[in-house]
A = this chain, B = another copy of it.
Amino acid sequence: MKALLFDVFGTLVDWRSGVAREAEAHLAPLGYKLDWRKFAEAWRMQYEPGMEEVRSGEIPFSKLDFIHRRMLERILPAFAVGKLPESVAASLTHAWHRLDAWPDVRQAFDKLRRNFLLAPVSNGNISLMVDLARRNDLRFDAILGAEIAGDYKPKPRVYLSAAEAFDLKPEYCLMVSAASHTGDILGAKAAGLKVASIARPQEYPGALAEPEVPVDLKANDLIDLAAQLHTG
């Protein structure tokens, strides 16, 4: 194994409480009182349909920031939120740039970096990954993923373009994804990568701590992953 490729939303960062916090900070001053976590969950639920429009070729490849904005517009009516001022909508869309890593991530990252190349392979755009890396002091070797590939996971091209960027055969890359991210795990396997699952039962209500499909490596968190890879 030469490189660890990370899914980001849910695997490295806690989108649910971060987006809930940001939604409250943006919408409460406008007089809204919502279940902020439910709002975050509803926003995230638009993720798969949002991606699918790009993957199917219905709309051209767009940065995830753009997709997040469309997803936001779609859920507002369900929460009885009217049209937002442009500056609020734009800033709220950037909530996804201001998420915190799970507590084990920072601790394990430098250890993992000693023995492996590290890169995010997320559907998030480069600037989004850059902001999350800065905020959480995560040192990646490169920002890989959807924007590099020009398509969205779980299309094989996204995983393969990451391996190619590092000049590695897919089997020398370990895709690290939350246990409940079955599509990501299957996508990476189909592209010939090795896969590791991380239990993230806190990601959202009902998230699986155990993968539904076979994986090469199963860890509780990144500290456990580092130990299992003998870098801990």
Partner-B contacts on A (CB < 8 A): 65, 117, 125-127, 129-130, 133-134, 139, 141-144, 147-148, 165-167
Contact = CB atoms under 8 A, between A and B. Distances in A.
A143 to B, nearest CB: 4
A229 to B, nearest CB: 18
Contacts of A125: 165
Contacts of A130: 117, 141-142, 166
Given A117-B130, A130-B166, A142 B141 contact: no
6 contacts: A125-B165, A127-B166, A127-B167, A142-B142, A142-B143, A148-B148
A126 B147 contact: no
Given A141-B134, A142-B143, A143-B143, A165 B126 contact: yes
A143 B125 CA distance: 13
Contacts of A133: 141
